[in-house]
Structure 1
Amino acid sequence: MRIIVYGADGYIGWPMALHLAAQGHDVLAIDNGARRRWDAEGGTRPLNEIASFTERVETWNALGKGAPIRIAEGDICDYDFVLETMRAHDPEALVHFGEQRSAPYSMISRDHAVRTQVNNIVGNLNILFAMREVNPEIHLVKLGSMGEYGTPNIDIEEGYLTITHNGRSDTLPYPKLPHSFYHLSKVADSYNIHFTTRVWNFRATDLNQGVVYGVATDETVLDPRLATRFDYDSVWGTALNRFVIQGSLGYPITVYGRGGQTRGYLDIRDTMACITLALEHPAAPGEFRVFNQFTEQFTLNELAETVAGVLGRRGLEPTIVHLDNPRIEKEEHYYNARHSALLDLGLQPHYLADTLIDSLVDFVQANAANVDPELLETPTVTWREGANEVWYRHADLTVAAENRAREATNTIREALES
């Protein structure tokens, strides 16, 4: 197929572009470099060195391991750019990762919330209007988030819920309880896409993805310049990544809050497989199809204990400490989300196991010289105060934020000393 991948320089977008090209698809990789600029803005960086977008593509094309990837650098908030590239490539499918994807980033300040929602909602709308202009038969595969649902006290279905009210029944989009301005933007995307399938007869698949872990795919391991990023700070990183680095390097493993927060997780290789399955089995015209894209669910405590157990068998003795939770969220809650649709299409999951965590530990130890201890110490964004009291690494610190940082750091130091 002719496929456009938006956000093709990102953590998932880059290995996805490689994976599709390795299968022989004609891939146009689009990115505007925003993710790298946001690192520069906030003083964050991945654990591993990553090549430039251009060097990545040139490396892949020189290896000759699949179809060559073409590249276009531009912003999906620029409608003319979206329309021109879509016309030129004439795609049969779109894989849309081109969004700001961090909940903490969206909560830093009013500016960051607005930037997140404009980038995500306007960019998504531009793609939808370009589809109508170029070819309404294009299949849109859009990355959503399990965070759109929140943590309701009932089972989470795959996109829809059949409701009986006052003696009448209907099947409606599942109610959403997003946890951040980022997740709110994803909800808006979902409704906008659903609307266009109903009024313009579009075909669309919305993949509500859980937390992704891992860095190795069949393609990224072919050359160091093809590597994807490994983020571990509190703005862009995941809890699992942070736990592995902390435990591997002798820091306490820091769990935010009581640790009962439960989420769905999946291996990055399964992300590749899920999107490929969605492309190979497209939605019908007029269909807004929703898949919950994860393979297992864990609490934060379960993740921390699993990592500590693996490290213990490697001769390390990590300590687990609990810090005040910077987020407003339920810390003990019911969580049972359906996720059978992709399994029915043939997904063969990779489950989180000792072997995967061992490989992450090996990866961390190989890149240990790149670890910035300051990025490990404390959560840098809080949901609890207004914009003037948010601590971001390169922002001015208020008294309240300084106190929070000092308390968290003291907790960690006390654990190290004991």
Structure 2
Amino acid sequence: MKGKVLILGGDGYLGWPTAMNLSNLGYSVAVVDNYLKRWIFNKLGVIPLIDCPDLQERVNIWKGLTGHEIKVYIGDIGGHDFLINLVKEFQPDTIIHYGEIPSAPYSMLNHNTSWETIQNNLNATLSVMWAIKTIDTDIHLIKLGTMGEYGTPNIDIEEGFIEIEKNGRTDRLPFPKLPGSFYHLSKVQDSDMLYLGVRMWGLRVTDLNQGPVYGIHTDESRIDKENRLIPHFHYDEFWGTVLNRFITQAVVGIPLTVYGKGGQKRGFLNITDTLQCVRLAVQHPANRGEFRVMNQFTEIFSVNELADKVKTVAKSLGLKVAIQNYPNPRKEAEEHHYNAKNTNLMGLGLQPNYLTDNVLIEMLEIAMRNKKNIRQDIILPGRAKWQ
């Protein structure tokens, strides 16, 4: 075995593929989840493109196909006693923290969803920190952050820290944060808490500030021809990332929903590169007393550029696709400077899988084969009006 990895939020869009990937590489893997997001999906009336079995079913399928075991824990990591006992039992070398509510629109829906997001996310991170402090400060914590922590400043975005000169004195300080939602704010607060834990307790932490992710299949999910190992691929306004939404909209003939002018730029990456980045962080842990920040994306696109790419490739498959501008529910600059650094992961050996026509074709073809599952009533913007 290469090491023991505990994945928090193992039922999620990224958690489950990460579990399969590391398991397939010979790591001893355990996943934990409380199915909170599935409960929220039901509350909002949204469904994924392809139904996902629960964790126990998926680990059984995975073992039957590969012979690899993944251990499952069901419970709330915000329950400190539960997490303490879990970490003592499994004794991980690495903890990967995906265990949060990851929807900006959901966090801005109303007071209750804002508080639910902040309370859940901060409580989870604080619980993990204290578990590591209590049990073994040598455990490497990898926390999935977001590029949305930075916002869109009118300067280049560094990786976590910035050198500042003031009145003849210099210091290296955390890069200023401009979150655009309560979800992104919770991730900023995660980062601040973890940096405190590093300074006060000598924790070893890697903070991966990830851009929006796209994709359906990974190498491991392709092993099952019945698509039972595919992660939660969502296309609704709350949980679907922009490119994933565009793919399903193109298939059912709904004009691509470009918010505002469409000039908003972000750093994107393929789901397979999320796995690669996390794997590199596992293989190259942060030092004791180090708060290491790595910006996790491979390409920068505007919303308009993504819409044009989908429209062009969909046309090659015989789909007629239109693009429509909608009033932007978000309070954000629609034309702005955006130049973010991502040299740390490249330095560790990241080999990007870029957004090619073939990548889009595969996504479109999968959506076409599952067209009957696409609910058009949850695609269009409407409910997620940011207060």
TM-score norm. by structure 1 comes to 0.90
Which of 339, 350, 371 is residue 336 of structure 1 equivalent to? 339
Query: What pairs with 1:49-128 in structure 2 (closer than 5 Å)?
Result: 49-65=51-67, 67-128=68-129
Shift of 1:353: 1.0
Q: Distance in 2 between matches of 1:316 and 1:199?
A: 57
Q: Is the 8 A contact 1:55 1:225 kept in 2?
A: no
Q: State the match for 1:252 in structure 2.
A: 255
Moved over 4 A (4+): none
Shift of 1:285: 0.5
Greater shift after overlay, 169-178 or 247-256? 247-256
Q: Percent sequence identity over matched residues?
A: 46
Q: State the match for 1:23 in structure 2.
A: 25
Shift of 1:226: 1.1
Which of 32, 35, 41 is residue 43 of structure 2 equivalent to? 41
Q: Is the 8 A contact 2:237 2:380 kept in 1?
A: no
Which of 314, 332, 339 is residue 317 of structure 2 equivalent to? 314
Q: State the match for 1:240 in structure 2.
A: 243
Query: What pairs with 1:317-396 in structure 2 (closer than 5 Å)?
Result: 317-383=320-386, 385=387
Q: Deviations over 1:155-207 (max 9, x none)?
A: 00000000001111000000000000000000000011111111111111000
Q: Distance in 2 between matches of 1:40 and 1:315?
A: 34
Shift of 1:64: 2.7
Shift of 1:268: 0.5
Q: State the match for 1:396 in structure 2.
A: none
Q: Distance in 2 between matches of 1:100 and 1:312?
A: 35
Shift of 1:61: 1.6
Shift of 1:316: 2.5
Q: Distance in 2 between matches of 1:225 and 1:381?
A: 30
Shift of 1:91: 0.8
Q: Distance in 1 between matches of 2:329 and 2:232?
A: 25
User: Which has the higher Rg, Structure 1 or Structure 2?
Assistant: 1
Matched, 1:174 2:175: yes
- 2:199 is paired with a residue whose SS is helix
Shift of 1:53: 1.5
Q: Name stretches of at least 5 consecutive residues in structure 2 with no aligned partner.
A: none
Matched, 1:227 2:230: yes
Shift of 1:273: 0.5
- 1:158 is paired with a residue whose SS is coil
Q: Distance in 2 between matches of 1:111 and 1:259?
A: 30
Shift of 1:244: 1.3
AA aligned to 2:112 is D
Q: Is the 8 A contact 1:295 1:351 kept in 2?
A: yes
- 2:379 is paired with a residue whose SS is helix
Q: State the match for 1:186 in structure 2.
A: 187
Q: Is the 8 A contact 1:273 1:347 kept in 2?
A: yes
Q: Distance in 2 between matches of 1:192 and 1:163?
A: 22
Q: Is the 8 A contact 1:205 1:290 kept in 2?
A: yes
Q: State the match for 1:276 in structure 2.
A: 279
Q: Name stretches of at least 5 consecutive residues in structure 1 with no aligned partner.
A: 386-418
Which of 285, 293, 297 is residue 294 of structure 1 equivalent to? 297
Shift of 1:380: 2.0
Q: Distance in 2 between matches of 1:314 and 1:136?
A: 53
**What CA RMSD, in Å, does the superposition of the two structures yield over aligned residues?**
0.9
- 1:76 is paired with a residue whose SS is coil
Q: Deviations over 1:277-325 (max 9, x none)?
A: 0111111100000000000010000000000010122233311110100
Shift of 1:382: 1.5
Q: Distance in 1 between matches of 2:90 and 2:249?
A: 45
TM-score norm. by structure 2 comes to 0.98
Q: Is the 8 A contact 2:251 2:371 kept in 1?
A: no
Shift of 1:63: 1.8
Q: Deviations over 1:255-283 (max 9, x none)?
A: 01110010110000100010110111111
Q: Distance in 2 between matches of 1:12 and 1:278?
A: 15
